[in-house]
Structure 1
Amino acid sequence: MQFKFRASEDRGGADHGWLKTFHTFSFASYYHPQYEQFGCLRVINEDRVAPKTGFPTHPHREAEIFSYIISGELSHKDTMGNVETMKRGDIQMTSGGTGIAHSEYNDHPTNPVHFLQIWALPNKRGLEPKYLTRHFTDERKKDRLAHIVAPVGYEGVQEVRECEGLTPIHAPLHFFASLLSPSKSVTHTLLPSINGKATKKLYIQLIQSSGYNTESAAKDGKNGPLVQISSGAQSAKLGEGDGVFITSGKTGEEVIIENVGNRVGEVVVFEMDDE
């Protein structure tokens, strides 16, 4: 495997007052030719939306879009009649397909909402638009990797509105999350390719849970989580908001994730087939 570290402060982003956001990939007014997408991943925005504000109704098509709620409440409305308020532990998947419009608001009077907004490129065009939700408790993520999103057709995936299983996505993408305690570690074993590809890609990020901060996050672990990512001779240390891009992975290889800081860290792992 090959590791490429990217510091939190090197992400794009902006403070619009009502919205404070970081962009892992080129988005809106932020453009970086080396970070337009990674495998099928096209967008990872770490968003914080102020109370009583949000994104008005806007259209999407030919994109798999899911929100991972970290704190606060996010209210969703769409043109298929779905109305829902999501809280921590909830994950919402919108399969844009031939076209859908939705709005996302923070209707809470005092508390901001913090969430990851993630877009993946679908493996098939012209799909019927769909909206799905799942819930994953903190207990399911505590010092383990909870498998949250998996491709349609993967064992345990059901394309129904609500159930206890994995969240389906029409892309060769798996998504995991862990609440990792200090001195604890988890091991991720790369899964078989669904497209018969020889190599896999991974992107691992430590969520910036301490707050919106455009300066460098603490990297010594004395004031927060610090996560060591390693596989063979390759390694990277992630402070809050940092990420590592991993290429040339193969099925069955292992990546070790260890919290070497002094506070619980929320880690997200994306695994996808190579192009």
Structure 2
Amino acid sequence: MSSTLRHATITPHRSAARGHANHGWLDTYHSFSFANWYNPNFTQFGSLRVLNEDRVKSNSGFPTHPHRDFEIFSYILSGELTHTDSTHTKKDNKNTKESELFCRVGRGDIQFTTAGTGVTHAEFNYGKDPVHFLQIWAVPWKRGLAPRYDWGRYSDDDKRKGFVSLLSPLKGGVDATAAQEKAAEPTIPGTIAIHADFVMSAGIIPPGSKFEWIVGAKVADATKRKVYVHIPMTKGGKAKIRLDGRDDDILVEGDGAFVEDVHAGDKLVVESVGDAEAEVVLLDTA
């Protein structure tokens, strides 16, 4: 398979280069500088600031703690995670009782918080099995936003057909009106609205198959783009992907890649070349 993005620069970010800490209850890998781990080469990529791959043991979790001026979201790979926060916003899903002011999310779900002027929240694993998830932070287009909580559920069946968009920019952009903020309508229907020029998608690619991602997802404000690709550690090392047909850019589980010098409308081809289906997360930003 030949390259279609000869103008693009693709730089692998190997799993071994990530920060790592095992606290017993939490086993965490940091793709970008976080907590006590700092690497000047990995601080931010467009709006993307944090990408942690976390495993939390049963009956453990993050106690109540504050955040502000970040867009914070978790993508659940396996297990179950319960979220509570100071917005006291209950999101009804099939795992949430009418009387509970929290949201319990599982495989394929996203829970999302605009921290804005300040929130406190907690995330806990009340299940019997470990929960494995990606914790991701994006820098919003302005500070001082009103806090907001949201969640979404996205099926594996859809992700096996192609990349599924999960987050997209809030309609109205940086100059969104109060009504648009309240409506929280995303640019791409069916996604969660984020306060950034940022699109998140996920796909589950069968071995020997390839998915195509249109850079900017046809909604980007900026023509010049960059995409961060991550392949979570879900298949015991059996999943591998090739980007843009380049043999030197094959990624294994835990790896990421910086895709730069691309523009809205470019096509990024992701091919599954391992022995197991590859779950792939794309973070497309200006």
**Alignment TM-score, normalising by the size of structure 1:** 0.88
- Which of 20, 41, 44 is the matching residue for 1:37? 44
Partner of 1:105: 124
Alignment correspondent of 1:205: 230
Which residue of 2 is the match for residue 4 of structure 1? 11
Q: In structure 1, how many angstroms separate the alpha carbons of the residues matched to 2:111 and 2:139?
A: 16
2:243 corresponds, among 215, 219, 229, to 229
TM-aligned CA deviation for residue 75 of structure 1: 0.5
Cα offset, 1:101, TM superposition:
0.4
Deviation of 1:193 (Å): 6.6
Aligned positions of 1:177-188 closer than 5 A: 177-188=202-213
8 Å CA contact 1:19–1:48 kept in 2: the answer is: yes
Structure 2 residue 171 is matched with structure 1 residue 171 = no
Provide the aligned length of Structure 1 versus Structure 2. Answer: 256
CA distance in 1: counterparts of 2:283 and 2:132, whole angstroms: 19
Alpha-carbon displacement from aligned partner over 1:77-100 (angstroms, at most 9, x marks no partner): 111124111111211110001010
Identity rate, percent:
39
Matched, 1:262 2:275: yes
Please give the residue correspondences for 1:147-166 in structure 2 after superposition, counting only pairs within 5 Å: 147-153=165-171, 159=184, 165-166=190-191
Deviation string, structure 1 residues 197-246 (Cα, Å, up to 9, x no partner): 341010001111146xxxxxx5xxxxx11100116x79610100111101
Letter in 1 for 2:204: L
Output the amino acid matched with 1:86: V
Per-residue deviation, 1:143 = 3.6
- The answer to whether residue 158 in structure 2 is matched with residue 140 in structure 1 is yes
Any gaps of 5 or more consecutive residues in structure 2?
1-7, 90-101, 174-180
> Given that residues 149 and 176 in structure 1 are in contact (C-alpha distance below 8 angstroms), is that contact kept between their aligned partners in structure 2?
yes
CA contact (8 A) 1:143 1:184 kept: no
* CA shift in 2, pair 1:154/1:183, >3 Å: farther
Counterpart contact for 1:66–1:92, Cα < 8 Å: yes
Q: Is the 8 A contact 2:220 2:264 kept in 1?
A: no
Distance 2:19 2:209 in 1: 31
| Alpha-carbon separation, structure 1, partners of 2:227 and 2:67 | 26
Moved more, 94-103 or 142-151: 142-151
For the 8 Å contact 1:64–1:94, the answer to whether it is kept is yes
Q: Quote the offset at 1:152 in angstroms.
A: 0.5
* Cα distance in structure 1, aligned partners of 2:215 and 2:137: 21
TM-score normalised according to structure 2 size: 0.85
1:106-131 CA deviation, whole Å, 9 max, x = no partner?
Answer: 011x2000000000000011110000
* Equivalent AA in structure 1 for residue 76 of structure 2: I
Matches within 5 A, 1:80-99: 80-82=87-89, 83-99=102-118
- Matched letter for residue 157 of structure 2: E
What amino acid is the match of 2:269? I
Aligned 8 A contact 1:77 1:84 in 2: yes
Q: Secondary structure at the match of 1:188?
A: strand
Q: Of 52, 67, 72, which aligns to 2:79? A: 72
Cα deviations across residues 114-158 of structure 1 (Å, max 9, x unaligned)?
Answer: 000000000011110000111101111014100111010189x96
Quick check: 1:143–1:181 contact (8 Å CA) kept in 2?
A: no
Letter paired with 2:274: G
Structure ranking higher in helix proportion: 2
Deviates more, 1:250-259 or 1:23-32: 250-259
What SS does structure 1 have at the residue aligned with 2:16? helix
For 1:121, the equivalent position in structure 2 comes to 139
Work out the CA distance in 2 between the residues paired with 1:207 and 1:89: 13
**Deviation readout 1:28-51 (Å, 9 max, x if unpaired):** 010000101111111000000000
